[in-house]
Amino acid sequence: MNELERIRDSIRKIFETRQKKILDGVFETATGAAPPATLMKDEEEVFNRLVDIMRGFRESLIHEVNRKETPKEEKEEREDVYRVVRELPEFIGPDMKAYKLRKDEVISIPRPLNEFLLKKGVIEKVE
């Protein structure tokens, strides 16, 4: 292994270590721990975005587990209609279904996903 290869290997290892630190911190911070204090500015931006995503996902899951609705109430809530304001790539919702939201699409989405997407400005209710 020549010197250039060793340098590249060292850089790769540093990057992987920083990446692991960010992801470990995301999981800890999303559940209430303090964020790591030694993040670089670029890392901090990615870190904060990931924490927001994890907190939203966690809240959705907790809400889904804790809710105590009858099937009739659930069906009534699914009848609300929304317009997609901001397109999102395909993702898996708390009900374990795949969703792909296209801008201006009119859709029906169950709770708590509809609440989360409304809060984030991804959808708006159609009256």
Whether residue 75 sits in one domain with residue 61: no
Q: What is the pLDDT of residue 82?
A: 92
CA angle 108–103–58, rounded 5-degree value: 60
pLDDT band at 36 (very low <50, low <70, confident <90, very high): confident
Whether residue 37 sits in one domain with residue 19: yes
The total number of structural domains in the chain stands at 2
Q: Which residue has the higher pLDDT, 31 or 121?
A: 121
CATH number of the domain encompassing residue 86: 3.40.5.50
Helix (H, G, I), strand (E, B) or coil at 91: strand
Residues 44-100 have pLDDT tens digits of 999 999 998 988 888 888 887 777 554 555 555 446 899 999 988 888 888 888 888
Which residues span the domain enclosing 21?
3-66
Whether residue 115 sits in one domain with residue 102: yes
**69, 39 contact by CB (below 8 A):** no
